[in-house]
Amino acid sequence: MNLIFRSFACLALLLGMSMGAVAAGTEVRLEAFLERVETLRADFSQRLFDEEGRPIESSAGRFYLARPDRFRWSYETPYVQEIVADGSRVWMYDRELEQVTVRSLDDALGSSPARLLSSEAPIGETFEIRELGSQDGLHWLELRPRDAESTFVALRLGFDDGTLRRMELQDNFGQNTQLTFEAVEENPALPPETFRFTPPAGVDVIRERD
């Protein structure tokens, strides 16, 4: 599940920060995105590469996000999994294992960048931000944490006409997680049940910590 949490951490990190003072060109793109997005819905494909650039695993599904502290990853391939944060807990359901694991939101996300979701620190104080220019039809920005104890090295964001289309997260082990978003909807009306989870009958429910 660490890969899943790293993926959410990217979006939580981005949507949870305030802008503060950053480079002018970067501020225009990030500030516009941060100010207008409260909820998000998209199809996603996700790939993990090792330190040599070799693919390790891939997956795809549907993603939902609502600020603050609510998200849902609905993995459809290669296995059906649901990861739902309801604001206080994270529910992780693996249909193949017939198992649900429940953890508090803070414990589940650990020391990941998602802890910055409620931070009031300006993003420019927390990250070094720079323009990477255009590639593959997207305009790229890079965020590098100023904290030497961070769990990741760099977060790269690819925008198309102001809409987030790609994210790449490089961790401290040299692995790279790449996310591609399609059918992106900003600020859709998401019903409350999107972020609720009821364990299916007959599955094992493991409550690691309340």
Average pLDDT over residues 192-197: 94
**C-beta neighbour count of 11 within 10 angstroms:** 23
24-to-47, 127, 202 alpha-carbon distances in Å: 32, 15, 55
Judge if pTM exceeds 0.95.
Answer: no
Give residue-wise pLDDT tens across range 3-37: 555 555 555 555 554 444 444 455 456 666 767 77
Tokens of 134: 């255009």
Range of 154's domain?
Answer: 2-209
Are 179 and 46 in contact by the 8 Å Cβ rule? The answer is yes
SS3 151: coil
50: enclosing H helix or E strand: none
What are the Cα distances from residue 178, in Å, to 11, 44, 45, 81, 167? 13, 10, 8, 19, 6
Number of domains making up the chain? 1
Cα(109)–Cα(141) distance, integer angstroms: 24
The CATH number of the domain where 127 resides is what? 2.50.20.10
**What is residue 205's predicted lDDT score, i.e. its pLDDT?**
94
Hey, what are 86's tokens? Answer: 């309801």
Higher pLDDT, 88 or 35: 88
